[in-house]
Amino acid sequence: MGKEPVSEQFFIDKLAASKDHFERALDCKHTEFDDLYPYMLEHPQFFWYKRYVAWSELLTIVSLCEELTFSWKELFTPKQVAYLNSRVMSAKVLDFWFEKNDSKEHAQR
């Protein structure tokens, strides 16, 4: 990246990638985390931890966007924005992140 100033678009791109990472973790799909800890696949708590790490990453980037007053909410539904603002990864987030789990968008992921 060099010594260029970090732009709003840079953060929005990172946020979109983080959102994708979290959604892949929710769907128990492969993420980079699987490559970092391949031995953990055998442990039942792995998928919970994988989701927690992805959620933490997402919250960190959202927090930076907020602090820098970058527009980030357009990437999410109103319910997802509410979940992110509450900052707690509850069962509600896990169960209802995708507004309709049978939607075409969800099925294509």
**Domain ranges (residues) in the chain:** 8-108
Does residue 6 register a pLDDT over 90? no
Residue 46's pLDDT band (cuts 50, 70, 90): confident
What is the average per-residue pLDDT within 78-82? 96
Average pLDDT of the chain to the nearest whole number:
87
Task: Indicate yes or no: pTM above 0.85.
Answer: no
Among 45, 66, 42, 57, smallest CA distance to 89 is for: 57
Q: Which residues of 7-33 are buried (b: 16+ CB within 10 A; e: fewer)?
A: eeeebbebbeebbebbbbbbeeeebeb
The whole-number pLDDT of residue 2 equals 64
Of residues 3 and 93, the one with the higher pLDDT is: 93
Residue 107's pLDDT band (cuts 50, 70, 90): very low
| pLDDT tens digits, one per residue of 82-97 | 999 999 999 999 999 9
The whole-number pLDDT of residue 83 equals 97
Among 30, 19, 32, 47, smallest CA distance to 105 is for: 19
The whole-number pLDDT of residue 108 equals 52
